[in-house]
Amino acid sequence: MALSSQRQVQLKLKYMIIVTGAAGFIGSCLVSKLNNKGIRDIVIVDDFSRGDKANNYNSKAFLEKVERSRFFEWIKSHSKETEFIFHIGARTDTTESDMSVFEELNLGYSRKIWNLCSENGIPLIYASSAATYGDGFLGYEDTNDLIPRLQPLNPYGISKNEFDKWVLQQNVRPPVWFGLKFFNVYGPNEYHKGRMASVIFHAFNQINASGKVRLFRSHRPDYQDGKQLRDFIYVKDAVDVIYFLYEHRRDPGIYNLGTGKARTFHDLACAVFHALNMEPVIEFIDTPADIRDKYQYFTEARMDKLLHTGYSRPFHDLEDGITEYVQAYLQSHRYY
């Protein structure tokens, strides 16, 4: 059936893609992925006041840069032109204890974006987190019935889970939507993250400074030092999944985004040494007191739900991802 002329006009108008958090780690890598796919009609949204994040987006192709604080005023005159919103921006500091910060940025801001997409028929992908799973006692199954029962260990995880819970209660929704529970993402463009950067980033810097890596000692009898486990996912794999869902536009819901295979911090440290052609030298230190009782000893994404959508691209294994990250990016301070 031929499209009505009005619908044809609507489709023609909807050409811009919006990426929030575009100056950050995953957001800037997503912009690179879109550019690599030939997409240039991108509006990047963030708090652009930090100069140390500028290299994450300066070399990217985009239409406009919009400050996070004025985005909702700006979108009033641009919603009809907006094809898709990737809401990657968030406060991600797991050591932040002021819940009001998360209430504003991770809950209030995200609800406004959800409502904007719902009211204007704009598809949405937003960032959730594996921090929602807490200590993992209830498992890592990305089913809707588990979400209200989860007990995150810190305000960041609480804020992400509260938004997931709120989303599932909504009757009015975007035409297509996906929430992604990112597990431990690592890779280029995290130079600005400080304490919250990946263990790979810190291990690389420690080796350069001292020739050794410091890992957290285990404070539980059922885990040996350095044998705490995480599901580490290379950022290029994460944005591949995001782009797949952008094109897929079916099977809306909340999905895990990890590799489905947990690895130890000891494995990680050895892989960084190997990428540098060095023998491993590992020292164990106490987990900082401010995060010790909130520390996850095991995370591993159940990936069946994503695989059932038809996603079939293999993930980098830990050694291959770390080798590329170290040799192609960290050693030359390159950006993706």
- pLDDT tier for residue 19 given thresholds of 50, 70 and 90: very high
pLDDT for the residue 18: 98
pLDDT for the residue 3: 43
pLDDT, mean of residues 147-171: 95
* Crossing angle of helices 199-210 and 265-275, rounded to 10°: 50
Handedness of CA 321, 201, 274, 222 (dihedral sign): negative
- Is 294 annotated in the active site? no
pLDDT, mean of residues 222-241: 97
Dihedral pair phi/psi, residue 145, rounded to 5°: -70, -20
> Which CATH code, of 3.40.50.720, 3.90.1150.10, 3.40.50.1220, 2.70.150.10, is assigned to 7-183+234-260+301-315?
3.40.50.720
Q: 11 pLDDT exceeds 60?
A: no
**Of the residues 60, 193, 227, 261, which is catalytic?**
193
Select the highest-mean-pLDDT range: 100-109, 220-229, 291-300: 220-229
Instruction: Decide: helix, strand or coil at residue 83.
Output: strand
Helix or strand run (H / E) with residue 144:
none
pLDDT for the residue 91: 73
Instruction: Give pLDDT tens digits for 310-322.
Output: 999 999 999 999 9
Instruction: Give the residue with greater pLDDT, 167 vs 103.
Output: 167
pLDDT, mean of residues 213-235: 96
**Of the residues 156, 186, 234, 336, which is catalytic?**
156
pLDDT for the residue 96: 63
Instruction: Give pLDDT tens digits for 161-209.
Output: 999 999 999 999 999 999 999 999 999 999 999 989 999 999 999 999 9
DSSP 11: H
- pLDDT tier for residue 264 given thresholds of 50, 70 and 90: very high
Kind of pairing between the strands at 263-264 and 229-230: antiparallel
Instruction: Decide: helix, strand or coil at residue 256.
Output: strand
For 280, other C-beta atoms within 10 Å of its C-beta total 14
Instruction: Give the residue with greater pLDDT, 191 vs 96.
Output: 191
Query: Could you give the dihedral angle defined by the CA atoms of residues 190, 193, 195 and 199, in that order, rounded to the nearest 10 degrees?
Result: -10
Helix or strand run (H / E) with residue 291:
helix 289-292
Instruction: Give the residue with greater pLDDT, 12 vs 13.
Output: 13
**Domain spans of the chain?**
7-183+234-260+301-315
Q: 249 pLDDT exceeds 60?
A: yes
pLDDT for the residue 97: 64
Kind of pairing between the strands at 213-216 and 282-285: parallel
Instruction: Give pLDDT tens digits for 36-45.
Output: 999 999 999 9
pLDDT, mean of residues 252-257: 98
pLDDT for the residue 2: 45
pLDDT, mean of residues 287-300: 88
- C-alpha to C-alpha distance for 259 and 238, rounded to whole angstroms: 9
pLDDT for the residue 102: 73
- Is 53 annotated in the active site? no
User: Nearest Cα to 32, choosing from 322, 239, 314, 247?
Assistant: 239
Instruction: Give the residue with greater pLDDT, 244 vs 98.
Output: 244
Handedness of CA 251, 257, 259, 260 (dihedral sign): negative
pTM of the model: 0.93
Instruction: Give pLDDT tens digits for 302-312.
Output: 999 999 999 99
196-217 as b/e, with b when 16 or more CB fall inside 10 Å?
ebbbbbbbbebbeeeeebebbe
